[in-house]
Every structure is written in C-alpha cells, then in structure tokens.
C-alpha cells in the first residue's frame, strides 16, 4: 500500500500577516469599499446652512483658520450609545463611511487602523473633546474612543436618553475640517496634508424635534428606514414607488 501523501501545512508564522501588511491590506479594503459608490447626497450640505445661526461655532472655525467643514457622515445613532460607560461613539463602516475614508490621508488611515489617530472633536457649542479615531476590524465600525470624554460629550449634548428613544429618533451628522491649530501639542509636525491636522464637528438632530427643518438634501436614504424617509419627504424620493 502506497504511503498517503500529506498536504503541505503552512506554519502560523508564515501564514500570518506582519503588522505592516495587515495595515496595508485593510487600508486598501477601506479605500475600495466606497470606490464604486456615488457621492452621498449629504455631501452637498453646506456647513453654513446647517450652522448658520450658531455664531459660537462659526467663530471658532474662523479662529482656527480651518478649511471649510465638509459633511462626511450622516446616520442614525445606535441604541447602544445610551450607555454612558460605553466610552466610544460608533459610526457605521463600509460604504456608509466612504467619505470619512476620503477625508483621511494614507498615513492617517494607517494610524486609524493600527492604534488609533488622535482627533479633536467639536460639538455644536464649540466645546472641544479629545478622542482617538479607531477602526474595529471585527465589527467594521469606526469609533471615536475616550472613556471620560465620551461621558462628558454625551452629557453636554443632552443625549442621556432612554435606549429605545435614542435609537429611534436621533441622527448624527459629522463634518471634517483641517487646521494646523488642531494638531495635538505632543505630535511632531508630520502631517502630510497641506491644510493641517484633521478635526471633526459632531452634531445631533432629533427627528421629532428637528424633522420639520430637514430639507431633502439632508437625508441619506441608505441610512434611514423607509418610514423615516417618508415622514420627511413631501413626495417619494427618486427610486422609490408608493403603493
């Protein structure tokens, strides 16, 4: 009887990717996720239209000498965010986060994938928070991480709510901007973007309270339920048929 031929076995060390290869692989995946998707309709939203009455925030952006804030994310606030001990604000990944990825340089994206990128976050009152932007490869969500900062952020923005209410009615809008003044003090000047370090402005909207002020351009049909879409569209949006 002939000897059975054994299948070649690759050692775990040979099969595993190096940290550099892992980061590079994920960077390519994240860049590719939205490459075939059109621009989200919220990309046309003008920062001054959303915050035109917010003199404090507009003044702060001007003081920073920042680039014009651009809307990079719009979606529902997950129910889990009602837990103040969670320590992180999660943003859906995949094609929904394609404009977040576009806002990052390759070096910044590598940091997000690896051990996190320090990103200052401003709220609607111009208050500043210190978060790290990370990518969770398991859940494929982007996360703004900061235990104490998260709790302060949620309390300051009146988001201490019942879990069901938070998940049902709250929407989040994220704007990206850049300024040399946003660079963390302990970071050497290694930014590879001519406009400076990245910052985010995170705003919340309550569909029940603010829905009447929403224009069609603020709604992204990929991130809302059909009931929510129909509640705020005066007519069926393109691609949908009423039956």
The region of weakest confidence among 38-47, 79-88, 214-223 is 214-223
pLDDT at 207 over 80: no
Above 50 in pLDDT, residue 190? Answer: yes
Q: For residue 146, is it within any domain?
A: yes
The answer to which of 12-26, 46-60, 75-89, 98-112 has the lowest mean pLDDT is 12-26
Rounded Cα gap, residues 108 and 90, in angstroms: 18
Q: What's the pLDDT at 210?
A: 55
Q: Identify the bridge partners of residue 117 per DSSP, sorted by sequence position.
A: 133
How many whole angstroms separate alpha carbon 154 and alpha carbon 84? 7
Q: Per mean pLDDT, which range of 36-45, 48-57, 202-211 is the poorest? A: 202-211
Query: Is residue 152, in this structure, part of any structural domain at all?
Result: yes
Tens-place pLDDT, residues 62-113 = 999 999 999 999 888 887 887 888 899 999 988 888 999 999 999 999 999 9
Range of the domain at 68: 18-208
- Residue 91, H or E segment: strand 88-92
Q: How far apart are CA 211 and CA 106, in angstroms?
A: 37
Residue 10 lies in a domain: no
| Residue 128 counted as domain residue | yes
Mean pLDDT for the stretch of residues 1-23: 53
Distance CA 121, CA 73 (A): 14
**Sorting pLDDT into bands at 50, 70 and 90, what band is 10?**
very low
Cα of 103 vs its chain's centroid, Å: 10
CA distances from 55 to 52, 63, 126, 151 (A): 7, 12, 10, 25
Distance CA 147, CA 167 (A): 21
Q: What percent of the chain has pLDDT over 90?
A: 36
What is the tally of structural domains in the chain? 1
Q: Which CATH number do you get for residue 82?
A: 2.40.330.10
Residue 11 — pLDDT band, cuts 50, 70, 90? very low
- Structure-block tokens of residue 132: 């790290």
Considering the domain boundaries, does residue 225 fall inside one?
no
> Is 221 inside a domain boundary?
no
The whole-number pLDDT of residue 52 equals 75
Question: Has residue 215 been placed in a domain?
Answer: no
| 159 vs 182, more confident | 182
Assigned domain for 222 exists: no
- Mean pLDDT computed over every residue of the chain: 77
pLDDT value at 157 more than 60: yes
pLDDT at residue 154 is higher than 60: yes
Polymer length of the chain = 243
């Amino acid at each position: 009887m002939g000897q059975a031929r054994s299948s070649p076995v690759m050692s775990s060390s040979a099969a595993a990717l190096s940290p550099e290869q892992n980061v590079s692989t994920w960077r390519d995946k994240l860049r590719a996720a939205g490459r075939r998707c059109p621009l989200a309709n919220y990309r046309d939203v003008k920062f001054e239209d959303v915050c035109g009455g917010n003199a404090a925030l507009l003044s702060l952006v001007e003081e920073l000498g920042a680039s014009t804030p651009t809307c990079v994310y719009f979606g529902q606030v997950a129910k889990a965010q009602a837990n103040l001990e969670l320590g992180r604000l999660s943003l859906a990944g995949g094609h929904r986060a394609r404009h977040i990825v576009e806002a990052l340089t390759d070096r910044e994206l590598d940091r997000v994938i690896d051990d996190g990128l320090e990103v200052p976050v401003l709220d609607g009152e111009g208050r500043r928070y210190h978060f790290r932007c990370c990518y969770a490869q398991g859940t494929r969500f982007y996360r703004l991480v900061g235990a104490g900062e998260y709790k302060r952020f949620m309390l300051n923005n009146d988001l201490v709510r019942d879990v069901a209410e938070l998940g049902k009615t709250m929407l989040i809008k994220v704007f990206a901007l850049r300024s040399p003044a946003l660079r963390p003090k302990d970071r050497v000047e290694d930014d590879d973007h001519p406009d400076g370090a990245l910052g985010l402005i995170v705003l919340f909207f309550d569909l029940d309270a603010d829905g009447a002020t929403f224009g069609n351009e603020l709604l992204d049909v990929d991130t809302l339920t059909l009931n929510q879409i129909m509640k705020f569209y005066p007519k069926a949006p393109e691609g949908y048929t009423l039956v």
